[in-house]
Each structure stands twice: as structure tokens, then as C-alpha cells.
Amino acid sequence: MWIRIFGIIAALATASSSFARVIETPVSQIEIISPDNENRDPELGPRICLRFEMPNEVRGIEIGNARLEIRLRLQLESRDSLVNFEAFGLASDWRENQQWDDFGTPGGDLDSNYYSCATIKCGLDDMVSLDVTGLVQTWNMSDEANYGLILVPKTTDSNAFSRLDYTREQLRNLAVLKILIPGQDAE
């Protein structure tokens, strides 16, 4: 009888480890940076710096997919209803309360090795979902520093999106990193 019970427990443990699972990771650090209004370049607008601490349960294991999801209800602008979101890895350390000019390169020290993008329709879509798998795999599998990433919103005519009507704390609650850990069924 005990052998059957142990056999059933072992079978359940093996079966449960074969399923893919998603781990949601909240923002650990966030800041909205904007250029000053003097001599403003039309391609420069507010940007969102985000950092996520890698959860212990994913350290050193394979990541099948990672998505940054952030819910933003953007107001419809008369000249353009689409906003492109570009995401770049950051190449230097930063902190909350960081300003536009506090980076070595004003507006953020972008890591040109990593780029992702998504487009949403203002007033209709509210979920910005970006594939950040490569960047998260790098943070997870190497000793390279995790400086986070930066979101750069632009209208589809290449001008900067003019404003974000959110505070840092509001955005903290609207953003999540979803990490898929593959199981045998995910292949």
C-alpha cells in the first residue's frame, strides 16, 4: 500500500513539473524621465525606465519567453491615433528620481544590442506588450548587470509622444514582467 502511495506522489510530482508556468514579476524600480522644455527636439518625449529583479525560482534555468506588459490608457490625439513603443536595454545604472540629464547620454544610456517594439491605438488599446525574452535571458544566465530597460513612446510620424498622464507609482502598479518557464508540454 505504501509503495502505491509513494508511486502516486512521484507520478504527480513528475507530471506537475512537465507543465509550462508563467511567473509574474513586479517592477522593482521605475522612473519617468522627460527632457526640459527648452529647445525641445520633436523626437524626444517622456520615457519610462523600468527594472525587474529576477525571481529566485528562475535563476539559472531556461526561460522560454518573457514579456513586458504595461496597461496604458492613452488619450486619442488629433494628429495620430497610433503610438509606437520602443524598448531598449539600459547600459548603465540608474535610480528612482533620475532625471533626463543624469545619464551619460541625456535621455538614457541605451544598449544598442537589445531592441523590441509594439504599437497601440490610442483610446482603444490599453495593453502594451513587448517581447523582452533576449534581454531577460541575458539577465538570468549571465553575470552581466541588470540595468533594466527603457520604454520610448513615439507617434507613428516619428515624433515623440507628448505626455504620459501617469505618476511613477501608478505605472509601478500597471507594469509586470511575465516569464514563461517551459515544460515538456511547451515544446
pLDDT at position 1, please? 58
Mean pLDDT per 10-residue segment, the chain (187 residues): 54 56 95 80 84 90 93 70 90 94 94 90 82 93 86 76 83 95 63
pLDDT at position 186, please? 39
Residue 118 burial by Cβ neighbours in a 10 Å radius (0-12, 13-18, 19+): buried
pLDDT at position 163, please? 73
Under 8 Å between Cβ of 96 and 30: yes
Under 8 Å between Cβ of 54 and 140: yes
CATH class of 20-186: mainly beta
* Residue 86 to residue 117: CA distance in whole angstroms: 4
3-state class percentages of the chain: helix first, strand second, coil last, to nearest 5: 20, 35, 45
Distances (CA, A) of 33 to 24, 45, 117, 123, 164: 25, 8, 19, 23, 10
Under 8 Å between Cβ of 34 and 47: yes
